[in-house]
Structure 1
């Protein structure tokens, strides 16, 4: 609050507020409040432009007054990643919303960046279609999902949302509206940074989608997304979840390999490995009221509570039934078929205040990454994610010191390096975020640095949010 109050006293603050109000309308421009922050960095103003042209005017105003701009969607991941060096204007995309150009049976739809995914799915469902995007963040907007490069269980079959892009419209740092797509190109003529040469980003013509996908995961640091044209698919007629209890990462490895070899065309292959509960001192009969109907309860089995491997099958009803039967035979006698997803499906294993990690590794090496994480932490940690593609999330307790988190990351990254994997800190308490290396080794950093130099040479867009302090 104090920071926001001081900002209103700076020369020109009221004039900037008046100009933002002229652009966005009286209800949609204001001084920022204590809740208007990005990873702990408080904004000075909040602007909610009513369309692309108004958003462009906000960026032109920022350029004229050398102000920084950080886009915000629903704010579900506003604390992910590094804190920006400065937030002058928080550009809220809530009014850049809508689903356009989506006639019945069309394979694509253009979607406003500020549109909540739930609204997108509801609109498409009226014509029997869906966006195959099922990210865990409740209330997330499409722009926020793309800016954070977030994906859910359906990434196994359809790829990440960023991989489903057909085109985008975005605003560059000077407020120019740019449209790029599969047939469009963007020209870069400035020289690449020393040491990079043309191999970093290249001079001349760069395919438009290369630029579009650079915006993915950029946290608004390369451009302000206005809309995205995405591939859409028919809603599947039938869905079932085939689940099996699992006990060790090595068992998961063997089962996932068997699932992928079974040719059952899974839509998702998800893993949940919770922290084991302590074993009871004495076994309790399965008929006892406290555990009746729960044969996997540790009091009955005498071993820690199981994790779960769950496979989603989608398609026509008879085809799904046939594939489910084949899959249960592959997974063994403990496998069961359910008409609904388990409670943990599509949810992160971390809570606010935890240090949240994302592990990316070839699927066949995910078990090694989990073992490495357990060894480094000195105890099992909750792990959940897409075992079929080797992407999983883990949670370290928020009470761990920054130094302890750093040592765990060093150990895990050492194991992953030899397996072409990586471990990224998605979110963390402020003391941890200030000390640890959030990204680890990043081969794409020179390309990212070159893109920043071309697209935002004055570092007005979310400065410091990108790796390397960009």
Structure 2
């Protein structure tokens, strides 16, 4: 009896096709449950049969992390994509794990709210739909606005989940001030689907600003430190503080502001004046917004390459051509040195200089040995600067030469993480081997 036949009583199941792989590892079947109860029935059946399961939303980050040891069933979350509740008075929303972040943003905007999570995989995945809410939780997705609202793990206040044996559970609640029980939501955020299948997520929202503006400044490497120090200490309340840099070019700073119309415009002009001093960016400053000069903005952005939307697409025809994507962290004072080192090693860099998290990309076609040397050199620096370096994605030829430690680096608390995995998934059926330490 085939895997499809054995699972057909749980939910909609079809045979896997050529495109149904996880980082090159083929699946036997694709299941599409429409609710937590069907997910429970599916996982219970897979548990009884010893079938390994990997969750897929739009596939925009399916090659992040390590390739799983095996994949018997791909569990698609696309049928669990409803906005379950939008409590406008409490600034809270609950949605299915398969809800696209872009569509969730449109729905919440109708009530004047937003989930402050930036989709680093926008335009990627199935039909270019980017990340789903569940996929964002699974990979701990956080982007530029983390400076303002904190990482995604701090915005998730409740989850509905299904364990590997089919047990349905809840953690947290539907109000911000909820302290009942263990905070499993934080444990699951960034676990790459290795502990449980999230079917529903409750998140904390923020009001949409009346006005937004961005200040751009092209700053030479030797002035990047003083410019970032000024911005980090600024009383003008920037909501984003991004740095982008590529080999052979001066870094570009992008500072986002939001709030009332008058206040936002005034703060943007004040910040632009401060950055425009001769010992910082000089004349290479522009304000993007209703009063910003478009011609100057275009000049500043000319030939700029960013990496925030660089999650690789599992549906791409040539998987060997994808870039190497690295996340590097540092204490704030070390960001200028990290930017310089990374670009000297051939990386294009962008990231949240205000929280010490950068994403760096080596171009397609970089030789595997060159990738490994560049990663090792950047990792050595980030360790000295109090941070870490993780290889989020790389071409198959590069991944083949990276073991788990080379991918994730040295991870404190790995023994504890293994014990947690053993409690949640003792027979290792959920994305086995995909996460840190071969979990």
When normalised by structure 2's length, the TM-score is 0.86
Correspondent of 1:174 among 152, 165, 181: 165
Partner of 1:162: 153
Partner of 2:270: 326
Counterpart Cα distance in 2 of 1:99 and 1:114: 10
Whether 1:428 aligns to 2:400 is: no
Counterpart Cα distance in 1 of 2:198 and 2:15: 23
The 5-angstrom pairing of residues 267-306 of structure 1 reads 267-276=239-248, 305-306=249-250
Whether 1:22 aligns to 2:9 is: yes
Unmatched runs of 5 consecutive residues or more in structure 1: 1-11, 186-207, 277-304
Deviations 1:266-313 (A, max 9, x none): 11011111233xxxxxxxxxxxxxxxxxxxxxxxxxxxx543101000
Counterpart Cα distance in 2 of 1:162 and 1:110: 15
**In 1, are the aligned partners of 2:191 and 2:435 still within 8 Å (CA)?**
yes
Counterpart Cα distance in 1 of 2:435 and 2:118: 25
Partner of 1:144: 135
Shift of 1:136: 2.0
**In 2, are the aligned partners of 1:168 and 1:226 still within 8 Å (CA)?**
yes
Counterpart Cα distance in 2 of 1:346 and 1:80: 15
Secondary structure of the 1:71 match is: strand
**In 2, are the aligned partners of 1:130 and 1:233 still within 8 Å (CA)?**
yes
Superposition CA RMSD, Å:
1.9
Equivalenced residue count is 399
Shift of 1:434: 1.9
Shift of 1:170: 0.8
Partner of 2:102: 118
Deviations 1:369-421 (A, max 9, x none): 2233345x3xx421111111111111123333333322222222222212211
Whether 1:316 aligns to 2:260 is: yes
Whether 1:467 aligns to 2:436 is: yes
Shift of 1:356: 0.9
**In 2, are the aligned partners of 1:171 and 1:223 still within 8 Å (CA)?**
yes
Partner of 1:215: 188
Counterpart Cα distance in 2 of 1:74 and 1:102: 23
Unmatched runs of 5 consecutive residues or more in structure 2: 123-129, 173-177, 277-282, 291-296, 313-320
Q: Cα–Cα, structure 1 residues 306 and 370, in superposed 2: closer, same or farther, change >3 Å?
A: closer
Counterpart Cα distance in 1 of 2:189 and 2:379: 23
Q: Cα–Cα, structure 1 residues 243 and 40, in superposed 2: closer, same or farther, change >3 Å?
A: same
Partner of 1:260: 232
Partner of 2:279: none
Partner of 2:425: 456
| Greater shift in the superposed pair: 338-347 or 143-152 | 338-347
**In 2, are the aligned partners of 1:39 and 1:81 still within 8 Å (CA)?**
no
**In 2, are the aligned partners of 1:350 and 1:394 still within 8 Å (CA)?**
no
Secondary structure of the 2:351 match is: strand
Shift of 1:349: 6.0
Q: Cα–Cα, structure 1 residues 120 and 75, in superposed 2: closer, same or farther, change >3 Å?
A: same
**In 1, are the aligned partners of 2:306 and 2:350 still within 8 Å (CA)?**
no
Shift of 1:447: 2.5
Secondary structure of the 2:416 match is: helix
Moved over 6 A (4+): 340-346
When normalised by structure 1's length, the TM-score is 0.81
